[in-house]
């Protein structure tokens, strides 16, 4: 064997030994972090009931996001409803592994809840979650069913309206009280429904007139015929900026009915959560390397033609925000003045 072949053989043996040492000792091998998700599952906890808007969005993401993660992990969607998504959020905060194999989809209300709901304080700190992004920054609406005598928001200011709502911390409850306390709606709030699907059924049965705090995108995806066949009355739109489609339909913004700067600031604070209308997050202290992979994969998925076609088929609006942007909005919310926080607490609470 000549000297050149001998050197080549020694180099090959040395590289092989180095790779073996990396594999057995936990040192970075040639593929590095890209090997982490190979053969693994990512558990996607959904803090809402099956068939609801948050469930539809999360399952659409879970069908596509794995294609944008090195190692192509399998996504396993699991519903864990309860306490307005608080059950899922608490699990992620205290029990779920922090290695990037658990992520969650929760209601925005559970992120802003500890700021506005005293009883939610201490369960988890929303500023400590690691946000991967939001699939939509949508507008919320108040609606009544076609059989209701309440056709406009002005009607709701003059007449009693039975409004179905979920438990405390859910947007359907918080927004119902917001309209009663800040905009003069005569809402009689019946809370305790499991989710929007159950409230829809209650509207059809005539148990309630309607609901508030429902995402416009959810309404179109869950009950498209209600919109196309005009089976509902859309009383008001709730967002920081007007929604073009609702504007064309002549649906007024809630700002028309709110008097006073203090109430306006408080309502703006509550509506800020809609910037992260469909938030996805990892546990506090999640591994930074995996966080970057997941954030990049999320944004890539929301721009992917296959995912967008799937979303359109399910009538899901997609207006994505990055994890970094959502993280910043949450931190800004928790830096709000005490006066604004106090008034915001009051307007989403039952009247005394």
In this prediction, residue 119 carries a pLDDT of 64
**Cα angle, residue 291 at apex, residues 288 and 295 outer, rounded to 5°:** 145
> How confident is residue 338, by pLDDT bands cut at 50, 70 and 90?
very high
Cβ atoms within 10 Å of 318's Cβ, excluding its own: 18
Whether the pLDDT of residue 276 is over 70: the answer is yes
> How confident is residue 52, by pLDDT bands cut at 50, 70 and 90?
confident
In this prediction, residue 117 carries a pLDDT of 77
Q: Which of 286, 277, 218 is nearest to 42 (CA)?
A: 286
In this prediction, residue 229 carries a pLDDT of 97
Q: What is the pLDDT of residues 79-116, one digit of tens each?
A: 999 988 999 999 999 999 999 999 999 998 899 888 88
**Cα angle, residue 123 at apex, residues 41 and 323 outer, rounded to 5°:** 50
Q: Which of 43, 80, 119 is nearest to 283 (CA)?
A: 43
> How confident is residue 277, by pLDDT bands cut at 50, 70 and 90?
confident
In this prediction, residue 58 carries a pLDDT of 97
Q: Give the domains, in start order, of the chain with CATH numbers.
A: 37-137+274-347 (3.40.190.150), 140-272 (3.40.190.10)
Q: What is the pLDDT of residues 192-231, one digit of tens each?
A: 998 899 999 999 999 999 999 999 988 998 999 999 999 9
Whether the pLDDT of residue 162 is over 90: the answer is yes
Predicted TM-score (pTM) of the model is: 0.71
Q: What is the pLDDT of residues 137-159, one digit of tens each?
A: 889 999 999 999 999 999 999 99
In this prediction, residue 79 carries a pLDDT of 97
């Amino acid at each position: 064997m000549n000297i050149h072949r001998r050197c080549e053989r020694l180099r090959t043996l040395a590289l092989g030994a180095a790779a073996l040492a990396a594999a057995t000792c936990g040192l970075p091998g040639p593929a590095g972090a890209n090997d982490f998700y190979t053969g693994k599952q990512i558990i996607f906890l959904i803090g809402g009931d099956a068939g609801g808007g948050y469930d539809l969005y999360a399952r659409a993401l879970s069908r596509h996001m794995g294609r944008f993660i090195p190692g192509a992990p399998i996504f396993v969607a699991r519903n864990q409803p309860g306490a307005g998504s608080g059950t899922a959020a608490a699990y992620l905060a205290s029990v779920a592994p922090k290695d990037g194999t658990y992520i969650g989809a929760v209601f925005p209300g559970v992120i802003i809840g500890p700021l506005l709901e005293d009883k939610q304080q201490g369960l988890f700190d929303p500023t400590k979650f690691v946000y991967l992004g939001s699939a939509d920054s949508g507008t919320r609406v108040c609606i009544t069913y076609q059989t209701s005598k309440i056709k406009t928001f002005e009607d709701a200011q003059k007449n009693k309206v039975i409004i179905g709502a979920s438990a405390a911390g859910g947007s359907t409850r918080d927004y119902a009280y917001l309209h009663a306390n800040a905009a003069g709606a005569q809402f009689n709030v019946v809370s305790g429904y499991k989710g929007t699907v159950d409230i829809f059924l209650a509207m059809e049965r005539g148990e309630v007139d309607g609901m508030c705090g429902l995402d416009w995108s959810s309404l179109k995806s869950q009950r498209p015929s209600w919109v196309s066949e005009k089976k509902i009355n859309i009383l008001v739109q709730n967002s920081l900026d007007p929604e073009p489609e609702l504007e064309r339909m002549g649906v007024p913004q809630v700002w028309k009915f709110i008097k006073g700067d203090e109430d306006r600031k408080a309502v703006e604070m509550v509506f800020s959560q809609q910037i992260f209308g469909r938030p996805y997050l990892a546990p506090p202290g999640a591994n930074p390397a995996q966080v970057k992979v997941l954030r990049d994969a999320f944004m890539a998925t929301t721009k992917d033609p296959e995912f967008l076609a799937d979303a359109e088929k399910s009538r899901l609006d997609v207006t994505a925000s990055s994890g970094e942007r959502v993280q910043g909005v949450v931190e800004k919310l928790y830096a709000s003045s005490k006066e604004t926080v106090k008034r915001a607490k009051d307007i989403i609470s039952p009247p005394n």
